[in-house]
Structure 1
Amino acid sequence: MKPEKNQGGLLIRLQELAGCQYLSDLHNSFYIEDVLYALRRINIASYSLDEWREAIRYILGEDLECRSGGEAVEVLIKKLGDV
């Protein structure tokens, strides 16, 4: 399987999977379900922990510590699900 990171980085890949026209749509509450869908479909291991931390900062506007990409996805899904 071809690594997803070759497709422009984690945020760009999430944007594509969520069907968002703009990168800024990732933190727009209108697209929460689409972003959740993208998070459930992405290959977590294809991206570094730093990329996952950047995604949390960009999407949630929070600087949260995570020890793995899997933990970052869990945090994103939980926080977005609570919105």
Structure 2
Amino acid sequence: MACTISEQAEQRLLSDSVLTQQQELPQRIILVGCGGVQVSPKCMYDMELSLYGVKCLVPVLVVAGQKDDVIVGTNMC
């Protein structure tokens, strides 16, 4: 399960200069969500995330149409 952010969160993070280098996806990725909905992320960023005091540099996928700003996946640790 991957960490993902919405396009709205991406725009806010870009305007606050939190995100830097956008990465093109090296291959086609398909995410399967609740109810079997399939989406392809538009791009990826490496973000430093902190969860329970642990900081990690993780790839975060930008998903169009995602309602939540951030979904933390199991690739966090």
**Fold match (TM-score > 0.5):** no
Bigger fraction of residues in helix = 1
Structure number with higher relative contact order (C-alpha < 8 Å, ≥ 6 residues apart): 2
**Rg larger in structure:** 2
Bigger fraction of residues in strand = 2
Normalising by the smaller structure, the TM-score range is: under 0.3
